[in-house]
Structure 1
Amino acid sequence: MTTEPAPAERITVLVADDQEIVRTGLTMILNAQDDIEVVGEASDGRTAVELARRLRPDVSLLDIRMPGIDGIEATRLLAGADVADPLAVVVITTFDLDEYVYAALRAGARGFLLKDAGPALLAQAIQAAAAGDALIAPSVTTRLLHAFADAGPRNVPAQPLDPLTAREEEVLLAVARGRTNTEIARELFVTLSTVKSHVANLMTKVGARNRVEVALWAYDTGRVRPGRP
């Protein structure tokens, strides 16, 4: 007698947007994925925070402009530096503004998408956040690199107290460019477990809680600049 393999566990998602038609559309797109299930919806930031804390979804998908508490403040409350048990947050918005991107990532978001990103990229961002990776819309990533380069040098040490190895530097640059662990493993011809180990070491060395903070540290220290291979 053969037994059927157990179904893969679905990624649970909370969707928060103040426009009902947008919430409905996002929910339909995500529920159409085999491995994603929307378990809650909210029309404002305060409700989103309350629901996320109660439901503990794998990922919270938050719009930036919402009444009461906006998406950035909601992100800070769910995934900020002072949150003991942070949740994974992906921010999505119609407004393609650099200050929103930077504020969202500093608040603890694991991803940033525009609402015109399309179903495939939306699903990838949710899947990446649930896996501990980060996905930022490619056009946004390019502008971020330019913004950090134009801002000039910062008062940040070029090396942590425990210097990065040559391999860790390679992984750091890949993380900063939004590569997932799987993509990094393929590009560097190493195993997935090796990449995860390097990312964990990077977080420890640079004092980051997640890979987005690792990427921001790479920008802050000038390791990533436009045109750099």
Structure 2
Amino acid sequence: MSELAQVVVRVLVVDDHHLIRAAVRQIVDAEPDLEVVGEAGDGEGAERQAMELLPDVVLMDVNMPRGDGIRTTARLSANPALAEMKVLLLTTFEQDENVLRGVRAGAAGFLGKSASAAEIAASIRAVHEGGSALSTAAQSALVRHVGGRGENAPLPGAVARLTEREREVLELVGRGADNQTVADVLGMSPATARTHVSRMLAKLQVGSRAALVIVAYESGLVVPGAGPVDESSPRGHVRRRT
């Protein structure tokens, strides 16, 4: 064959409402690179289906019977057999506590059910590729509920042990930059940016890129109101912190 086969992202849809599952399935299956491989109506079913089907991404409701989405996310994230699988929480309730608990449980993203079909599809691709997908409401919730540090206070131990370049990458990730943007701002390849992110996940012992956003704010590398990365400015306004 002269052309490489297209990679298809395999998706498990979990929601206790049949009509919502059907609507999400229609959105996903309309994309040539996405495919729904299974459905579940509660947390217990999600765990069974995840182990049986080994999907790439689980699109998970939060409020469900027999295991809510956040507790189920934590169990899936702790299972070594599912280490490559990503969870994207999709819910009507973008409440602050839910967002924080969801990200800390290992979710790679958090979207409201008001998200458009294009936003849902793009978010599935983003988390599958190792990125994060946080709605504007979810990002605001994280900013409100993570504690920062004083401008001159020492960095927390785990963050202080990162290399200077890793802290620069962490700041950019905290401000919403994807690997390509990190690479453009810091003058490296996307593969190198991806390697830095993987090493930080291990060093900081967090389970997702979204969790790095929390670390970036809690450590003070990113402060509320910092705004998105300005790629047109030298080094994207990355601050050198010690």
CA contact (8 A) 2:107 2:208 kept: no
Deviations 1:118-150 (A, max 9, x none): 11211121111111211111232133113224x
Deviations 1:20-42 (A, max 9, x none): 11111111101111110000011
Q: Distance in 2 between matches of 1:147 and 1:125?
A: 23
Q: 1:138 to 1:174 in 2, by over 3 A?
A: farther
- 4+ residue runs over 6 A deviation: none
Give the secondary structure class of the aligned counterpart of 2:143.
helix
Q: TM-score, normalised by structure 2?
A: 0.83
Which region of structure 1 is more displaced relative to structure 2, 92-101 or 214-223?
214-223
CA contact (8 A) 1:171 1:195 kept: yes
Q: 1:121 to 1:187 in 2, by over 3 A?
A: farther
**1:84 corresponding residue in structure 2:** 80
Deviations 1:132-175 (A, max 9, x none): 211111232133113224x778xx95242863333322210121
Q: Distance in 2 between matches of 1:98 and 1:19?
A: 23
Deviations 1:83-114 (A, max 9, x none): 22333111010012011101111111111000
Which region of structure 1 is more displaced relative to structure 2, 7-16 or 176-185?
176-185
Q: TM-score, normalised by structure 1?
A: 0.88
* Aligned alpha-carbon RMSD (Å): 2.2
CA contact (8 A) 2:174 2:216 kept: yes
Q: Distance in 2 between matches of 1:15 and 1:198?
A: 31
Which region of structure 1 is more displaced relative to structure 2, 32-41 or 177-186?
177-186
* Residue 228 (structure 1) shift: 2.5
Where does structure 2 lack aligned partners over 5 or more consecutive residues? 228-242
**1:102 corresponding residue in structure 2:** 100
Give the secondary structure class of the aligned counterpart of 2:114.
coil
Give the secondary structure class of the aligned counterpart of 1:92.
strand
* Residue 73 (structure 1) shift: 1.2
Q: 1:96 to 1:228 in 2, by over 3 A?
A: same
The partner residue of 1:11 within 4, 9, 12 is 9
Identical-pair percentage: 35
Aligned residues: 222
* Residue 62 (structure 1) shift: 0.5
The partner residue of 1:178 within 144, 163, 176 is 176
Where does structure 1 lack aligned partners over 5 or more consecutive residues? none
After TM superposition, list the pairs within 5 Å mapping 1:11-160 onto structure 2.
Answer: 11-80=9-78, 83-85=79-81, 86=83, 87-149=85-147, 158-160=156-158
